[in-house]
Amino acid sequence: MLNRLKLRLRALFHKTEMEQELDEELRFHLEKEIEQNLARGMNPEEARSAALRSFGGMERVKEASRDVRGVRLVEELWQDLRYGGRMLLKHKGFTLVAVLSLALGIGANTALFSVCNAVLFKPLPYAEPDRIVVLSERMSDGKLSEVAPANFVDWRNVSRSFSGMAAVRASSFASSFILGGQSEASRLVGGDVSSSFFSALGVRFMLGRNFLPDEDLPGHDRVAILSYAAWSERFGADRDIVSKTITLNDKAYTVVGVLPADFQFGTTAADFEARSQADIWVPLALDPQKLQRGAHMLHVIARLKPGVKLAQAQAELDVMAANLAQQYPENNKDRGIAAVPLTDQVTGSVRVALETLLGAVGLLLLIACANVANLLLSRAAARQKEMAVRIALGASRGRLAQQLLTESLFLAGLGGIAGFVLALAAIAALTPQLPADLSRAAGIAVDLRMLIFTAVISLVTGILFGLGPLFATWRENAGESLKQNNRSATGIQTPLRSGLAVAQIAIAIILLIGAGLMVKSFWALMHVAPGFRSENILTARLSLPRSRYPDNRRIAALEREVLESLRGRPGVQSAGFATYVPLSGSDNDWSFLIEGRPPLPVGTFNVAKYRPVSAGYFETIGIPLLRGRSFTSADTAEAPWVVVINDSMAREYWPSENPIGRRLQIPGWPAWRSVIGVVGDVLHEGPDSAAKAEMYLPVEQALMNIESNPTIVVRAEIAPGAAAGELRGAVSAIDPAIAVDRIETMQQLLSGSVAQPRFRTMILVAFSLLALVMASIGIYGVMNYLVIQRTREFGIRLSLGATPTDVLRLVLGRAAVLIGAGTLFGLLGSVLLVRLITKLLFGTAPLDPLTFAAAPVLLAAVALAASYIPARRATKVDPMIVLRSE
Amino acid sequence: MKNKQTDLLQGTLDLLVLKTLQSGPTHGWDIAQRIEQVSRGILSVGQGSLYPALHRLEAQGWIAAEWGASDNNRRAKFYKLTAAGRKQLAAETETWERFTGAVKLILKTT
């Protein structure tokens, strides 16, 4: 077996050597023969010619010996490749257009595939990631909510379907630490997790260990696990870091472990971005004595036991939920438990967008294939005679098919290589543009899957566009072709090519309409009034050491001091503090009671967004005051307690009365607060979110100590960099221990909030324009071919008195029929396909009449312009030349 | 040359070559000579079929080739039987004997 393989490989790669050996072997035989003849008494001349005679043709022997080497197919392939290569070199224009079309098609596909590969297909970096599910509470309206700590503990104790269950605090930036003991105060973003969190995910620690169950209890929880990034950047990649003590928020923590570099976690795509920046993880340390069932603050993950199916686990959870609802009706009535695979959660929001783009890029490739098929068909027409001669000389149909297919695959291979290079360039250009929720795409790399994808797609493409000419050739009758001159129409070509052109136009229409809808949505998104000013606004986060700013009174004092100091600085118009700034991604809501209203049924709450702010905040960020007054520095802890509500809250809870002067109470805080003002709505989560009820309260009157990381909002008519400098200066002059970070302009935040729609709109527009160009090239090719084919006819028409306009109308009329048919199919296809992207549209109807009208007009204009070039050539035909050329 | 020569039956050349090589490695010319001599001139192997047959047997792995020195120290390609070839020879010999035996039986009865 091995011997035979060796022989074949040798036959392939050492062809000359083997030929020489064959020569030598046969010569030896000849010489022996001559020797023998001499011995028999012939004279030398006779001996030689007799020997040669008996040999019966040296070449025939050689050919027969070669055949048995079994490499004929490979040799033929090589022949075809060389021939194909020569042909491509000879027809540079053809090659350039074909390879370019393919490169664009394949390149776009490869680039997008690599994004999808990183975002959708790449498994999460855990052991058996598909067995990890996210458990949430399902409310009666079907929405999922975070989990109450007491419920989490009950689930964990009761369930049998999971080999591990763990919780992580939902607010991704709730736990942040000031890292002490270093020259400059720096902030570490953290996550609070229960002890089994990393073991449930199946994380292998790079150094040290996971938390112990005992460390997950209050009083024993001064231990920390570092991220790889924090370990290498903040702690100098100290390999002996484990069991060393670090200072966090002025308290000593012992480092017990360091995570691997590829660790990532998040419960949604956006969360992934935020969490992956987490520097430090500490135990959640829920107090078993004081577990709450009303505050929903945890994300829960669990790993399915081997062999347990998701449906089985869900069945068990349903039973558990029913039991808990019975046991604790005030909190758990009508609350179910939902188990969703983590992978689905993480990719959910971007999946539709990416799949749409993937579909679009697939269509683009089809157009490219049709283009190349069209080009090859015109080449096939020109090569009819060559093929006919080959058939006449005895080439089998199979042999011709082999040659044609080799050529188209060769072309596809070139296109694939060029496309791969294009894709690399596109990825390099696109990566910085990627929206945050595609952050997993940061892991885009040229990997084996991408290479295989490119190879497979090139192969399929090559076969796809190679089929056209193959069929065309197949149908040819060798004898007929030889007799005809090569200008005459061939049976199958015209309808095939027209069909391809119609298909191209139809696909281009679909892509144009898709892109048009996206553009209109994006335009609508950009013109949503967010409810606040975004020009000249700078935001920055301050991290206050808890030891020195233990309560809101102290924090409010600091805020006043900072604002005071900023007021005098050049360029600064106004400034204010807020805990939750629009578009920052952080948010919080609280329930409240309204004075004089009957109690609400069990399990229902009045809920509004909770926003502690300082005086000056509304004015700075430009939230309009609609009624009453806004906060002043007089609204201190000692002053009467007040609240400012937004328009949505006013309309939701006081639909037919003036809310000013009404009072509400936030459970846990005994004081009643008077509504003193109504301000405009803010789209807190971005332009595509809905306005929600919001209540603003003065920092000093917000008793819970959750405001230790306030965000300052500065309105300055100077460059953001200079304003940031002023801000840092002002803060460090007051207290150098305060870390200032996340300095961003409101414009940056706004632009970030629409990054995903912008990304997909941009890509789809690019695809549709490419499709438009390729479809135009396609129809140009078909019309051009038609004109060449019918040159004689046009000549005769012109000589019989037709005007150039008549001929022009004839050709353009034909083009219009193709364009019309393609448009019709395209519109039909669009009507069927737009419902798939309804989710991605904003403020735009899927069957938006403007888009559905504009796309065909644009395409018709471009396609007719492309057809005009050959049409004009048809009018320039000189009848005499045409008739003489016969 | 002898007058009464018989054309080789399809497929028998392989058997003859394998059998000839059973007695030891040798080159193409020698194989042709030996077949002619042993068959007392009845069977003659033309070069036109011998060399393709040798290369085919080599491709199939039944014989292996090696360059060596012949008489007068001339370079010649020597063929030898491989283990697989030995098995093939046994199998083909058996087939051949069964076949000729059957043919003989038929010839005798009619």
For residue A881, the model assigns a pLDDT of 73
Q: Does A475 touch chain B (CB under 8 A)?
A: no
Angle at A145 between CA A144 and CA A151, to 5 degrees: 115
Q: Is residue A823's pLDDT more than 90?
A: yes
For residue A272, the model assigns a pLDDT of 67
Residue A410 or residue A15, greater confidence: A410
Identify the helix (H) or strand (E) that includes residue B2: none
pLDDT band at A255 (very low <50, low <70, confident <90, very high): very high
Q: In this complex, do A4 and B59 lie within 8 Å of one another by their Cβ atoms?
A: yes
Residue A52 or residue B21, greater confidence: B21
Residue A185 or residue A60, greater confidence: A60
Are the C-beta atoms of residues A660 and A628 closer than 8 Å to each other?
A: yes
Q: Where are the domains of chain A?
A: 2-70, 74-124+350-486, 140-334, 494-529+755-886, 549-736
The 10s digit of each residue's pLDDT in A75-126 is 777 878 888 888 888 888 888 888 888 898 888 888 888 888 777 777 777 8
pLDDT band at A486 (very low <50, low <70, confident <90, very high): very low
For residue A223, the model assigns a pLDDT of 93
Are the C-beta atoms of residues A226 and A279 closer than 8 Å to each other?
A: yes
- Minimal Cβ distance to A61: which of B51, B56, B74: B51
The dihedral through the CA atoms of A418, A419, A424, A427 has a sign that is positive
- Minimal Cβ distance to B51: which of A32, A33, A65: A65
In this structure, what token pair is assigned to residue A635? 């609204």
Query: Is residue A666 classed as helix, strand or coil in its secondary structure?
Result: coil
Q: How far is A4 from chain B (nearest CA, A)?
A: 6
For residue A489, the model assigns a pLDDT of 44
Phi and psi torsions of A86, nearest 5°:
-60, -40
Are the C-beta atoms of residues A773 and A745 closer than 8 Å to each other?
A: no
- Establish if B2 belongs to a structural domain: no
The dihedral through the CA atoms of A527, A532, A538, A544 has a sign that is negative
For residue A224, the model assigns a pLDDT of 93
**Cβ contacts of A39 on chain B, cutoff 8 Å:** none
Phi and psi torsions of A695, nearest 5°:
-125, 130
User: Alpha carbon of A464 to those of A415, A457, A729: distances in Å?
Assistant: 14, 10, 66
For residue A860, the model assigns a pLDDT of 92
Q: Is residue A172's pLDDT more than 60?
A: no
3-state SS of A561-593 is HHHHHHHCCCCEEEEEEECCCCCCCCCCEEEEE
For all residues of chain B together, what is the average pLDDT?
A: 83
What is the average per-residue pLDDT within A599-618? 80
Which residue, among B29, B57, B87, would best test binding to A if mutated, counting the most A CBs under 10 Å from its CB? B29
Cα(A670)–Cα(A648) distance, integer angstroms:
25
Task: Give every strand in the sheet of B26-27, ordered side by side.
Answer: B26-27, B75-81, B63-69
Per DSSP, what are the bridge partners of residue A136?
A338
- Minimal Cβ distance to A1: which of B32, B61, B70: B61
Q: In this complex, do B46 and A56 lie within 8 Å of one another by their Cβ atoms?
A: yes
Least confidently predicted of A133-142, A303-312, A313-322, A852-861: A133-142
The 10s digit of each residue's pLDDT in A197-225 is 999 988 889 999 999 999 988 888 899 99
**Cβ contacts of B2 on chain A, cutoff 8 Å:** none
Q: Does A5 touch chain B (CB under 8 A)?
A: no
Q: Which residue of A has its CA nearest to B70?
A: A28
Cα(B79)–Cα(B50) distance, integer angstroms:
12
Are the C-beta atoms of residues A643 and A676 closer than 8 Å to each other?
A: yes
- Establish if B6 belongs to a structural domain: no
Is beta strand A280-283 parallel, antiparallel or unpaired with respect to A186-193? Answer: parallel
Q: Which residue of B has its CA nearest to A29?
A: B29
- From its phi and psi, is residue A227 left (phi > 0), alpha (psi between -120 and 50) or beta? beta
Return all residues near A450 (Cβ < 8 A) that are at least 6 apart.
A110, A113, A114, A117, A423
- Pick the closest to residue A699 from A559, A561, A809, A824 (CA basis): A559
- Pick the closest to residue A465 from A509, A507, A387, A405 (CA basis): A405
Looking at chain B, how many residues does it have? 110
- Minimal Cβ distance to B55: which of A28, A54, A69: A69
Are the C-beta atoms of residues B52 and B60 closer than 8 Å to each other?
A: no
In this structure, what token pair is assigned to residue A352? 């539709």
Q: How far is A459 from chain B (nearest CA, A)?
A: 32
Cα(A17)–Cα(A8) distance, integer angstroms:
13
Are the C-beta atoms of residues A357 and A438 closer than 8 Å to each other?
A: no
Q: Which residue of B has its CA nearest to A59?
A: B48
In this structure, what token pair is assigned to residue A125? 């970096």
Cα(A434)–Cα(A350) distance, integer angstroms:
12
User: Alpha carbon of A307 to those of A55, A127, A304, A313, A701: distances in Å?
Assistant: 75, 15, 8, 11, 53
- Pick the closest to residue A798 from A881, A740, A690, A859 (CA basis): A881
Most confident of A269-283, A506-520, A752-766, A865-879: A506-520
Cα(A683)–Cα(A722) distance, integer angstroms:
28
The 10s digit of each residue's pLDDT in B57-99 is 888 888 988 888 877 778 888 999 999 999 999 998 998 899 8
Q: For A313-439, where are the E strands, in sequence order? A: 336-341
Phi and psi torsions of A323, nearest 5°:
-60, -45
Cα(A585)–Cα(A749) distance, integer angstroms:
10
**Cβ contacts of A25 on chain B, cutoff 8 Å:** 27-28, 51, 76-77
DSSP B51: H
Q: Is residue A828's pLDDT more than 90?
A: yes
CATH number of the CATH domain containing B48:
1.10.10.10
Cα(A26)–Cα(A574) distance, integer angstroms:
101
- Pick the closest to residue A863 from A779, A762, A743, A756 (CA basis): A779
For all residues of chain A together, what is the average pLDDT?
A: 83
Q: In this complex, do A28 and B59 lie within 8 Å of one another by their Cβ atoms?
A: no
Percentage of residues in chain A having pLDDT higher than 90: 26
Cα(A246)–Cα(A252) distance, integer angstroms:
6
Residue A713 or residue A122, greater confidence: A713
What is the average per-residue pLDDT within A831-857? 89
What is the average per-residue pLDDT within A326-332? 85
Q: Is residue A150's pLDDT more than 80?
A: yes
The 10s digit of each residue's pLDDT in A625-667 is 999 999 998 898 889 999 999 999 999 999 999 999 999 988 7
Q: Does B59 touch chain A (CB under 8 A)?
A: yes
Percentage of residues in chain A having pLDDT higher than 70: 87
- Cα atoms in the 13 Å half-sphere on the side-chain side of A599: 4
Are the C-beta atoms of residues A450 and A110 closer than 8 Å to each other?
A: yes
- From its phi and psi, is residue A806 left (phi > 0), alpha (psi between -120 and 50) or beta? alpha
In this structure, what token pair is assigned to residue A602? 């069990």
Q: Is residue A821's pLDDT more than 70?
A: yes
pLDDT band at A235 (very low <50, low <70, confident <90, very high): confident
Return all residues near A661 (Cβ < 8 A) that are at least 6 apart.
A674, A675
pLDDT band at A537 (very low <50, low <70, confident <90, very high): very high
Q: In this complex, do A54 and B47 lie within 8 Å of one another by their Cβ atoms?
A: yes
Cα pseudo-dihedral A497, A500, A505, A506, rounded to 10: 140
Least confidently predicted of A433-442, A530-539, A726-735: A433-442
Are the C-beta atoms of residues A206 and A277 closer than 8 Å to each other?
A: no
Which residue, among B27, B44, B55, would best test binding to A if mutated, counting the most A CBs under 10 Å from its CB? B55
**Cβ contacts of B58 on chain A, cutoff 8 Å:** 7
- Establish if B29 belongs to a structural domain: yes
In this structure, what token pair is assigned to residue A715? 């309105």
Cα(A278)–Cα(A226) distance, integer angstroms:
9
Per DSSP, what are the bridge partners of residue A226?
A258, A280
Q: In this complex, do A69 and B64 lie within 8 Å of one another by their Cβ atoms?
A: no
Q: In this complex, do A28 and B46 lie within 8 Å of one another by their Cβ atoms?
A: no
Residue A615 or residue A475, greater confidence: A615
pLDDT band at A743 (very low <50, low <70, confident <90, very high): confident
Its ipTM equals 0.80
Range of the domain at B102: 12-109
In this structure, what token pair is assigned to residue A755? 């990054």
For residue A883, the model assigns a pLDDT of 67
Give this prediction's pTM.
0.67
